[in-house]
């Protein structure tokens, strides 16, 4: 069996939503200390909806595929839904990732959460910090 699913390869080769939103309403940047990869998410919010989302990922193919899929999953969706996006949902949408690459999808979840928090803080919107608790990071990170 191939190491990577067709969906992973597709999103890696043709990533969706790559780029920068200059006047973003929220920006989140996270990194993985172990592999050194960095992911940045830009959000444009209108009336509580993720009107636009872009990403820059300086990292492995799985991180790029995860960012691409995650941005597709939150685009046009309510902010609360974007906040609930889990790395597991991203991995499922990609038809799986190898166990040692699951942490790459955690970056996507964390970057989106960081961007939403940035939006809340810039706009003085109260939020529950529990909603931003660390991702469902699998044991592969250890």
Residues across the chain:
142
How many residues of this chain interact with ligand FES, rule: CB under 6 A?
A: 10
111-121 as b/e: b if 16+ CB within 10 A: bbbbbbbbbbe
Least gap, CB of 22 to ligand FES (angstroms): 26
Q: Is 101 exposed, middle or buried (0-12, 13-18, 19+ CB in 10 A)?
A: buried
Least gap, CB of 49 to ligand FES (angstroms): 28
Least gap, CB of 111 to ligand FES (angstroms): 11
Q: How far apart are CA 65 and CA 122, in angstroms?
A: 29
- Give the per-residue contact string, 79-108, with ligand FES (x = CB under 6 A; - = no): ----------------------x--x--x-
Q: How far apart are CA 134 and CA 71, in angstroms?
A: 19
Q: Is 53 in the site for ligand FES (CB under 6 A)?
A: no
Q: Which residues bind ligand FES (CB under 6 A)?
A: 32, 35, 37, 59-60, 62-63, 101, 104, 107
């Amino acid at each position: 069996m191939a190491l990577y699913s067709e969906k992973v390869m597709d999103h890696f080769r043709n990533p969706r939503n790559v780029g920068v939103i200059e006047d973003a309403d929220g920006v989140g940047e996270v990194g993985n200390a172990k592999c050194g990869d960095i992911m940045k998410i830009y959000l444009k919010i209108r009336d509580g909806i993720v009107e636009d989302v872009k990403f820059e990922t300086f990292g492995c193919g799985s991180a790029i595929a995860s960012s691409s899929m995650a941005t597709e999953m939150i685009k046009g969706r309510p902010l609360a839904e974007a906040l609930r996006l889990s790395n597991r949902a991203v991995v499922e949408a990609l038809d799986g990732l190898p166990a040692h690459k699951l942490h790459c999808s955690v970056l996507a979840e964390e970057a989106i959460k960081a961007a939403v928090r940035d939006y809340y803080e810039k706009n003085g919107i109260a939020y529950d910090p529990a909603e931003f608790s660390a991702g469902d990071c699998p044991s592969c990170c250890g």
